[in-house]
Structure 1
Amino acid sequence: MFPDPKSRSAKLTQRAMQVLPDGGSRSTIRMTPHAIYVKEGHGGRVTDVDGNTLLDFNNNFTSLIHGHAHPRVVEAIQKQAPLGTAFSFATEAEIELAEMLTARVEGFDMIRFCNSGSEAVMNAIKAARAFTGRPRIAKCEGAYHGSYDFAEVSLGSGPDHWGDETRPESVPYSHGTPGGVLSDVIVIPFNDVARAEAILDAHADELAGVVFDPVSTQIGLLPPSPEFLDMLVRFRERSGALLIFDEVIAFRQGHGGSQTLLGVTPDLTALGKIIGGGLPVGAVAGSREVMSVFEVSGAKARLPHGGTFNANPLTIVAGRAAMTDWTPEAVDNLNAKGEQCREALREAIRIANVPGQVTGSGSLFRIHVHGRQMTTYRDTYPTAAEAERTHALAHGLIGEGVFTSTYGLGCLSTSTSDADVARLADATVTVYRAMREKGLYDAD
């Protein structure tokens, strides 16, 4: 099934290479030797252009909380589309989704919509700067916060350039990143309380905010320690820097997001993915005082914020439909199934008798192809052999009819069944055994 050089997906990849750089518009869906082109998706499954069906544990990188073509979402879009898809006017639906989301989270007094998680993080950072009058931000080493230059600093940094663990370097992710961007981002080690606090204190008067993801997929889905969270809150209180939660992914962990589960109320929260019902979406939410930077005072707002497709009615009605079905009961049921899935994967690793472990919480999981203890980002960084195994695992699962991600991340949706979880676990055993037979564990 994959890879298949004679497949229509392979031919489409070659065609795309002629008009799209690297064959597409999203680096996250690039696969070698060819991409998989999908024709349709329903519930927890997608069907590609060659007729192959895949059990989808990726769900467009965690954005589809109810799976593909959720009936209530489809109905909402079908009702709105004939009425218009975008206007240079406000719509009542925007107020309704805003009311729904602000009612769920104590720290959401007000909310502002945009079109992606990257935009949400960008606007949260800009809002912190506008509110505090300070230029710099801090973030955890290795954390992913979208494609904004400042948010990308230190993403994917490795041993050859990440610097001493007592003071991680601000490393560019993209070629050509201005030096000024690097100097305005302070990098702290995740889960290292003493070192992170010392770095933050040294820059306390310069920092507009600290950006933090409670379920960072690029830091192995490791949980933040209570001590680390307490340190961030203490620093916020004594420094005047804002605490910014990136809940673009993490919001799926609870009816009111991860912050309600952790008992932490940030000043600003970046949202995206599930709140759009599968359509492009982002949002910034926070206290009335901080969100006032978006309000016009005099000639203009402290933070002017336009966007042709911000709060477009298709996204808003789809998001409202998805969030209507994202009830406390649905959250509890899905999170329980998530723990069932993680335990099934742990059992699969035991049965296959290979080094491995599973991290995650709620409806998220990440499979690691090693058994070493992990606390910080540097603990999660793969060796060359581990990177090869992870690649082989992802491709092998596709061959078994299961799709996760190329780096071991997966998620469940409300359409995921017990049989789907069992199939994922069985496929994992099969692929791990094939990897051992191919000698991918000979070095252990």
Structure 2
Amino acid sequence: MTGIARLGQRSKESFARARLVFPDGTSRVSIERDSVPLYIERGIGSYLVDVDGRRFLDLNANFTTLIHGHAFEPVVEALTHQLQRGSCFANPTESEIELAELLCGRIPQVDRVRFVNTGTEAVLFAIKAARAFTGRSKIAKIEGAYHGAYDWAEVSLAATPDNWGDPTAPKSTAFYRGMPASVLDDVVVLRFNDVEGVRRLLSLHAHKLAAVVLDPMPSRGGLISPNAEFIPAVQEAARKNGILVIADEVLNLRQSFRGASARYGLVPDLVTMGKIIGGGLPIGAIGGREDVMKVFDASAGRPLLPQSGTFSANPLSMIAGLAAMRHLDQVAFEDLEMLGNIVRHGIGRVISNRGAPLCVTGAASLFRIHPMPQIPNDYRDAYPAPAAATLMKQLTRFFAGNGIILPHAAAASISTPMTRADVESIVDVFAGFLDSHQDMLDSIDART
């Protein structure tokens, strides 16, 4: 394996400029840095080229958004044509109807759709829709699961062993200093795969719960599969108590042709979508049952839930999303699943052969490596000790040094331009990391 210098000179220079105009030198807290961020000049298929001319296999794909990789030709052609006709209007366009028709025809339980600009907005309005429909104010959510930058969705997003509370009754923890106490009071925190806890807590708070927000495989929560009893338990408890189920598929819609809920047997009342449905442009969508979605209906006057947005359903996002989604057919998803299996099985085989204290989780075109020998059951199980967290930072650095962008503490994703050779190189680099970091691995093993 040929190593790549860790920091490029132009990235260093760019970061120096950025620190003069941004609070910490970046415009998103999610930007990864190894003292200095990697600045990108262009993307080509499944690869990135940085401002210093170095080439990297991209497993981040803008946080799993770019399922077709970079500069996907059908999207480029569609956008070029639309830009010559106009970028946004106050009036609707036929392209929004076409994308909505595709989603309603493909994703189960999506009878009607409303477009917004981000996944955060999609979750925000789905929660508001549940409140408007039920007349209740509280929500339930999974500890450690990410659902965007909305106060109620951020509760217990960053819970730690110091504050997450009783394992049978997780504490609602603030995500940032100054988060209103009233927000914490309005969120019931559940543990992923805790069947009895879900049944008990949803029943206990039923009279005030509008919805339970559930990502069928929370990425930030560990990219852990739901056990066989968990999804049915959520579904049953919600239905029994008149609580709506919101499936957050902003990230995990990419798990199958019909999305993640269909893969895991979840039958939601509302579905939030984003990322892949925009073809690389900003987008979000709320879909769901016709009667629930009627809270947005303004045809007879002021709706129960007014929703708008200057750039919602803008033709660029609609056109790009339509081009991307039309090329995500059953065969494309089968190919992505096959490549994902090669990576997960290959990493698992390397771990087993070397007796390393690590494991791999994920499904379809997603995977995540954990610094622990047993697959975690939920966010608390997946929470790394300091030494383990250091090991994972070294893993990300080693991958970057060998020409692969591997997200730190997040889902890595496969894209359609990737080849078998690309994904096999992921396994080879991982094996190289284990071989060169045995001392650190021994330290982790001693603590587990």
Smaller-chain TM-score range?
Answer: over 0.9
Q: How far has the Cα of 1:354 moved from its partner?
A: 2.2
| Counterpart among 258, 264, 279 of residue 262 in structure 1 | 264
Q: 2: distance between equivalents of 1:262 and 1:296?
A: 34
Kindly state the Cα deviation for residue 435 of structure 1 after the two structures are TM-superposed. Answer: 2.2
Which amino acid letter does the alignment assign opposite residue 442 of structure 2? Y
Report the CA distance between 1:2 and its aligned residue: 4.8
Q: Which residue in 1 is equivalent to 2:416?
A: 414
In the aligned structure 2, how far is the partner of 1:121 from the partner of 1:378? 24
Give 2:172's aligned residue: 170
Alignment of 1:369-384 (within 5 A): 369-384=371-386
The letter of the residue matching 1:343 is H
Q: RMSD of the TM alignment (CA)?
A: 1.3
Work out whether residues 75 and 320 of structure 2, in 8 Å CA contact, stay in contact via their aligned partners in 1.
Answer: yes
Whether the aligned pair in 2 keeps the contact of 1:394 and 1:407 (CA below 8 Å) is no
Look up the match of 2:426.
Answer: 424
Q: Aligned residue for 1:325?
A: 327
- Residue 2 to residue 271, structure 1, CA distance change in 2 (3 Å): farther
> Paired residues, what number?
442
Which aligned pairs between 1:213-232 and structure 2 lie closer than 5 A? 213-232=215-234
Do residues 349 (structure 1) and 351 (structure 2) align? yes
Q: After the TM superposition, which of the residue ranges 319-328 and 30-39 deviates more from structure 2?
A: 30-39
Distance 1:299 1:188 in 2: 38
- Kindly provide the amino acid, as one letter, of the partner of residue 6 in structure 2: P
Select which of 95, 107, 116 maps to 2:118. Answer: 116
AA matched with 1:242: L
Q: 1:195 maps to what in 2?
A: 197
Question: In structure 1, what is the Cα distance between the partners aligned to 2:5 and 2:29?
Answer: 19
Q: How far has the Cα of 1:264 moved from its partner? A: 2.3
400-409 or 292-301: which moved more? 292-301
1:281 aligns with 2:283: yes
Deviations 1:203-246 (Å, cap 9, x if unpaired)? 00100000000111122111112211111111121111100000
Q: Distance in 2 between matches of 1:27 and 1:433?
A: 32
Report the counterpart of residue 93 of structure 1 in structure 2. Answer: 95
Query: Secondary structure at the residue paired with 1:137?
Result: strand
Does structure 2 retain, via aligned residues, the 8 Å contact 1:351–1:429?
no
What TM-score does the superposition give when structure 2 sets the normalisation length? 0.96
- Confirm or deny: 8 A CA contact 2:220 2:411 kept in the other structure: no
Deviation string, structure 1 residues 136-160 (Cα, Å, up to 9, x no partner): 0000111111111110100121100
Counterparts of 1:442 and 1:384 in 2: how far apart (Å)?
11
- CA gap 1:126/1:300 in 2 versus in 1, 3 angstroms: same
Task: Specify which of 374, 398, 401 is matched with residue 399 of structure 1.
Answer: 401
- Structure 1 CA distance, aligned partners of 2:149 and 2:118? 10
Pick one of 10, 13, 18 that aligns with 2:12: 10
Could you say which residue in structure 2 is the equivalent of 1:442?
Answer: 443
Partners of 1:24 and 1:181 in 2: CA distance: 28
Which letter does structure 2 place at the counterpart of 1:3? R
Q: Any idea what SS the aligned residue of 2:183 has?
A: helix
Contact 2:269–2:292, Cα closer than 8 Å, also in 1: yes
Give distance in 2, aligned partners of 1:7 and 1:440: 32
Letter in 2 for 1:171: T
Q: Which residue of 1 aligns with 2:362?
A: 360
Q: Which moved more, 1:262-271 or 1:129-138?
A: 262-271
Greater alpha carbon shift after TM alignment, 195-204 vs 275-284: 195-204
Preserved contact between residue 374 and residue 380 of structure 1 (Cα < 8 Å): yes
Q: Which amino acid aligns with 1:139?
A: K
Distance 1:261 1:397, change over 3 A: same
* TM-score normalised per structure 1: 0.97
- Residue ranges of structure 2 left out of the alignment (5+ in a row): none
Identity %: 43
User: Structure 2 residue aligned with 1:143, among 139, 142, 145?
Assistant: 145
